[in-house]
Amino acid sequence: MGMQILESGSSNIEYLRQLLDYAASLILKLGAPIRDSDTKAAHQSLIDELSMAVSPNSESESAFAVSLVKGVRFIFEQIQVTSLTCVSLVLSFAPYA
């Protein structure tokens, strides 16, 4: 994802936001419903932060690169939380096996 955006040569923050929205929707589908509000809040916080850091018409490559890194970091953090939740769920059933 990140490399495709960087290789395109376009610093399109709106495209990045759409990718983050898509990733967040997948994470919500895969994650535990109890974590949905946390995931949505973290996603909205990131989007708000990115909106303030880079305007849609901004030409700042460094601001866009920082936004891209924050977006990728968000996705990996959410995947890690989802993974740990799944592992905890599986381990909770271990005594019954």
pLDDT of the residue at 59 = 59
Give per-residue pLDDT as tens, 51-63. Answer: 887 665 555 777 8
Phi/psi for 10 (5° steps) reads: -105, 130
Look up the domain containing 58 and give its range: 2-96
Taking the C-alpha atoms of residue 67 and residue 44, their distance in angstroms, rounded to an integer, is 14
Where does the pLDDT of residue 30 fall: very low under 50, low under 70, confident under 90, or very high at 90 and above? confident
Burial of 8 (0-12, 13-18, 19+ CB in 10 A): exposed
- For the whole model, what pTM was predicted? 0.67
Nearest to 19 by CA among 62, 74, 59, 56: 74
> Is the pLDDT reported for residue 25 higher than 60?
yes
Q: How far is CA 90 from CA 70, 77, 79, 83, in A?
A: 30, 20, 16, 11
Domain count for the chain = 1
Q: For 19-74, give the DSSP string.
A: HHHHHHHHHHHHS-GGGHHHHHHHHHHHHHHHHHH--TT---HHHHHHHHHHHHHH
Where does the pLDDT of residue 73 fall: very low under 50, low under 70, confident under 90, or very high at 90 and above? very high
